[in-house]
Every structure is written in structure tokens, then in C-alpha cells.
């Protein structure tokens, strides 16, 4: 009887350990995914802005979120270099948009930053 309980405790412990490891993997890139999604939403708002000043204000917010996404992609629990590259590209395009003198140029670069933010989201599930 004691052997049966001992075996059940060991089995339960192993199961919990495996589940914790899987949860850790999923949560490891969770913050990168969250920030990439928030960056995308902010870039999209900037893209739809009617004035250059409004768009630039929204771009600053989006850039901060894209930088956070990039930072979270390189933590040991995530370690997703493709996602990091996409996030850094979003930052680069966002900076180019921020330096734009007219709304059309700003929208062109903002659209590219939006696309890179989406690419972060598609790269994360493929990370090891």
C-alpha cells in the first residue's frame, strides 16, 4: 500500500515538473508578444492619425513598446533572435517615421513598423 502511494507521489511530482517547464516556455515570450501587440496597436493609431503632431506623439509611444518587445525577446526564457530582429526593425522604421517632415512619408514608414510588429508575433511561436 505504501509503495502505491509513493509511486503516485513520484508520478504526480514528475507531472507537475513537466507542466511547470512547459508553462515557463510559453510565459517566457509572453511579455515580448504582449509588447509587440501593443506596439502594433500604437503604430496603427499613428498610421490613422490626421495630423503630423498627433502621429508623432503616438509614434513615441509605439517606439517604447517596440523597444520593450525587443528586450523581452532576448531574455533567457524566450531567447528568440528572429523576433528580436523584427522588433528592432520596427524600432528602426518607427524612428524613420518620427523624423518624417510630412504625413505621407510618416505613414509609409509607420506601415513598415506595423508590419514588423506583426512579424514579431508570428516569429514567437516558432522560437525554441
Give the span between the Cα atoms of 123 and 20, in whole angstroms: 23
- Cα separation, 57 vs 39, whole angstroms: 13
Q: What percent of the chain has pLDDT over 70?
A: 78
The helices-and-strands tally (H runs, E runs) of the chain is: 5, 0
b/e per residue 113-128 (b: at least 16 CB within 10 A) = bbebbbbbbebbeebe
Q: What are the sequence ranges of the domains in the chain?
A: 28-126
What nine digits make up the cell of 8? 503516485
* The CATH number fitting domain 28-126, selected from 1.10.287, 3.80.10, 1.20.120, 1.20.58: 1.20.120
Residue 23 has pLDDT above 50, yes or no: no
pLDDT confidence of residue 82: 93
**pTM to 2 decimal places:** 0.77
Report whether pLDDT(40) > 50: yes
Amino acid at each position: 500500500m505504501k509503495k502505491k502511494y509513493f509511486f503516485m507521489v513520484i508520478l504526480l511530482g514528475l507531472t507537475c515538473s513537466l507542466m511547470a517547464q512547459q508553462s515557463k516556455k510559453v510565459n517566457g515570450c509572453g511579455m515580448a508578444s504582449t509588447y509587440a501587440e501593443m506596439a502594433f496597436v500604437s503604430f496603427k493609431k499613428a498610421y490613422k492619425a490626421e495630423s503630423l503632431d498627433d502621429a508623432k506623439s503616438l509614434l513615441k509611444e509605439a517606439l517604447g513598446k517596440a523597444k520593450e518587445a525587443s528586450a523581452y525577446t532576448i531574455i533567457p526564457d524566450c531567447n528568440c533572435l528572429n523576433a528580436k530582429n523584427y522588433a528592432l526593425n520596427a524600432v528602426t522604421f518607427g524612428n524613420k517615421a518620427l523624423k518624417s517632415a510630412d504625413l505621407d512619408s510618416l505613414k509609409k514608414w509607420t506601415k513598415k513598423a506595423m508590419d514588423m510588429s506583426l512579424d514579431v508575433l508570428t516569429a514567437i511561436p516558432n522560437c525554441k
